[in-house]
Amino acid sequence: MKTQLKSVSDRVFSLDDLKPGEEAIIAGYRDDIADELRLLEMGLIIGSVVRLVKFAPFGDPIQIRVRGTDLSLRRALAKSILTRPTHLNRYERRN
C-alpha cells in the first residue's frame, strides 16, 4: 500500500482535511485504521469518489457522501482515511 501511495504522497490528505463541499478520491487507509472492512463494505474502496458534506455543529463527527449515501464518521476515523484530489486521476473517478 505504501509504494502505491508514494508517487502522490505529497498530494495525499486525510479525509477530514477536506473542506466542506469538497470532493476527493479515496487513496487508501492508514495502517492503524480500525473498522477498515466495514468502511470497505460500505463502498469506501480505493478509487471511490467521496465528498465531505459538512462538519457536525460541534466540529465532530463529519458527514460524507460516498456512492450516493450519506454517512457520519468520527474525525478520529476519518483521519485514517487517505484521499487525493479528484483531478489527479480522472480515469478512476468513473469507476
Partner 1 sequence: MSAETKIAPYRSDVRKRVIRVALAGNPNSGKTTVFNALTGLRQKIANYPGVTIERKSGILTGPDQQTFEIIDLPGIYSLVPKSLDEQIAVDILTGTCPMEPPPDLVVVVADVTNLARNLYLCTQIIDIGLPVVLALNMMDLARKMHLKVNVEGLARRLNIPVVPISAKQMEGLDTLKETLFMFGQKGANGRNGHTILKSVELARVCEPLVEWFQQHGIASPAGAYAEALRVISQPEVLERWQNRNGQSELPALVEKARQELAERGIPWKQAEVRIRYAVIDQICAQNITQPERTGGELSEKIDRVLTHKYFGPVIMFLILATMFQSIYTWAEVPMNAIENGLSLLGQQIERVLPPGPLQDMLVNGVVAGVGAVLVFLPQIVFLFFFLAILEDTGYLARVAFIMDRFMAKIGLSGQSVIPLLSSFACAVPGIMATRTIQNQRDRLITILVAPFMSCSARLPVYTLLIGAFIPGIWFGGIFYLPGLVLLLMYLLGMVAAVVSATILQKFVIKGQTTNFIMELPSYRVPVWRFIFYRVYEAGKAFVTNAGKIILAVSIVLWFLASYPKPDAQHVQEMQGLAKAGQQVDNFHEIRQSYAGRLGQLIEPAIRPLGFDWKIGIGLITSFAAREVIVSTLATIYNLQDVDETSVDLRTALQRDTYPDTGKPVFTPLVALSLMVFFVLACQCMSTLAIVRRETNTWRWPIFMFFYMLLFAYLASFTVFQVGTALGFGS
Residues near partner 1 (CB under 8 A) are 1, 3-4, 34-43, 45-46, 53-61, 63, 65, 67-74, 76-77, 95
Residue 19 beta carbon to partner 1: minimum distance, rounded to whole angstroms: 14
Residue 85 beta carbon to partner 1: minimum distance, rounded to whole angstroms: 19
Q: Which is nearer to partner 1, 10 or 59 (CB)?
A: 59
d(CA 59, CA 62): 8
Q: Which is nearer to partner 1, 42 or 88 (CB)?
A: 42
CA angle 18, 19, 20 (to 5 degrees): 120
Residue 74 beta carbon to partner 1: minimum distance, rounded to whole angstroms: 6
Those residues whose C-beta lies under 8 Å from the C-beta of residue 20, and which sit 6 or more positions away, are 52, 53, 54, 55
Q: Which is nearer to partner 1, 10 or 21 (CB)?
A: 21
Q: Name the β-bridge partners of 49.
A: 25
Which of 9, 12, 30, 26 is closest to 65 using CA atoms?
A: 26
Q: Which is nearer to partner 1, 58 or 91 (CB)?
A: 58
